[in-house]
Amino acid sequence: MRVDEVPIPVPQPHQALIEVEWCGICGTDLEEYRDGPVNIPLETHSLTGRKAPIALGHEIVGRVVESARDGSGPRAGDRVIPDVVLGCGECWWCRRHQEGLCVRSAVVGLHADGGLSEYVAAEAATCVPVPLSLRADVAALAEPASVAVRALRKVPSPIGSSLLVIGAGTIGLLVVQVARSSGVRKVMAVDPEARRRELALALGADAAFDPAELEALSAETTEGIGPDTVIECSGVPGTAREAMRLVRRGGTTVLVGLHGREESFDLLDTVLGEKRVVGSAAHLWDEDVVTAVTMLARGDIDGDPLLTTYLSLDQVAKGFDALEAPLANAALKVLVTPHQAYLQATSGSTTP
Ligand SMILES: [Zn+2]
Ligand SMILES: [Zn+2]
C-alpha cells in the first residue's frame, strides 16, 4: 500500500465528480492495509471493471465539483455523502432494491476507487445531500452510522425493549445512540476497555459491563430474563455464539461484526428457545444513509466524541497504526483529509 499520484477520475454520465473533504478509515481498511488484498480484487471485478491497485476509502464526505452529465443527482457545490454500495441493477435482488445482496455487488473504496483521494467519481443518483447545519467532519460518520441504522432496522420491535450491544467501538457506540432514539427502554453495552464503557454511558447507555461481569449483570439488568435483542458489533471470534446464548428466549440476535472463520452455536438453545439470528450488512442509500445523515444533523447521534483522530492524506499510515494500537490507546474514528487547511480548522484532535 502506498500514497501515489494518479489521474483525476473521469466520471461516467451517471456519475458526479466529488472533491473529498474527509474520509474515515475503519477495520475494513485496516484489514487491507495489514493483510490485503482481502476484498480488493486481483482480477477485474465484473461490475466495476477494476482491479488492484485501487484507492481505499468508503466513508466519504465531499463537495460536488461536476454534476452528472445525465442530469441526475446533486449540483456542483453541494456537500454530499456518496453512497458506496453498488449493485448490477439487473439481478433478482437489485430489481427489488436490495443492492447489498446483489450477486455482483461492489463497494466504492474496495472494488472501485474510493475516498482516500482528492477526488472520487460516485453514482450521482445515490449521493445523499448533507444539510448546512451539519459539520463536514461529523458528516463523515454517515457511512458507519448507516450501518448502525440498518442494524436497528433488524430489531422487530425496538420501542420499550431491552438491547445489549457487544463491542463499544465506533459501530457499537453508534448503535447505542440509534437504539436510544428508536425508543429502546434499556440499552446495555459491553466492552473490555473502561474508557469505551464510560463513553457508552455518556452517549446514552443505561449500563456498561466488562465482559467478565456480563453474564451476571445482563441478567440482573433484565430481571433475570435476558435482553430482547443482542447486537454483536465486535467481530471477535466466539462472540456471535455468546450473543446468541445471552439473548432471551424468543429474542433476536443481530450480527454486524465479522471475521473470516466459522462459528459454532448451541442448536438446542437456539431451536428450543425460538431465537432469531439475523445478519445486517452495510446499508441502502435511501433507507439507511439518509436516516443516518438526518440523525447526525438533528443531534440524535452525537458524532463529536467518536472523532478521535484527524490526519492528512499523506499521514494515512499513522491512522492505521492508531486503529491497531492496544485497545486502551486505540483511536475510535480516524478521519483523513487531502486539505491541510481542514486539519488546522479542527480542534480537539488527539492522535494516540
Ligand atoms: Zn468503514
Ligand atoms: Zn444485482
Domain boundary assignment for the chain: 15-143+283-345, 155-279
| pLDDT at residue 350, rounded to an integer | 46
- The ligand that comes nearest to the alpha carbon of residue 60 is 1
- pTM, to two decimals: 0.95
Q: Report percent pLDDT > 90 for the chain.
A: 89
CATH superfamily for domain 155-279? NAD(P)-binding Rossmann-like Domain (3.40.50.720)
Cα(183) to centroid of ligand 1, in Å? 26
Cα(43) to centroid of ligand 2, in Å? 19
- The ligand that comes nearest to the alpha carbon of residue 174 is 1
pLDDT under 50: residue ranges of the chain: 348, 350-352
Cα(290) to centroid of ligand 1, in Å? 17
| pLDDT at residue 346, rounded to an integer | 75
Match domain 15-143+283-345 to its CATH number in 1.10.10.10, 3.20.20.210, 2.40.110.10, 3.90.180.10. 3.90.180.10
- Name the 3-class secondary structure at 107: strand
| pLDDT at residue 351, rounded to an integer | 41
DSSP summary character for residue 173: H
- The ligand that comes nearest to the alpha carbon of residue 26 is 1
| pLDDT at residue 347, rounded to an integer | 56
Tens of pLDDT along 289-315? 999 999 999 999 999 999 999 999 999
DSSP string, 68-122: -TTS-SPPTT-EEEE--EE--SSSTTGGGT-GGG-TT-EEBTTTB--SSSSEEEE
- The ligand that comes nearest to the alpha carbon of residue 87 is 2
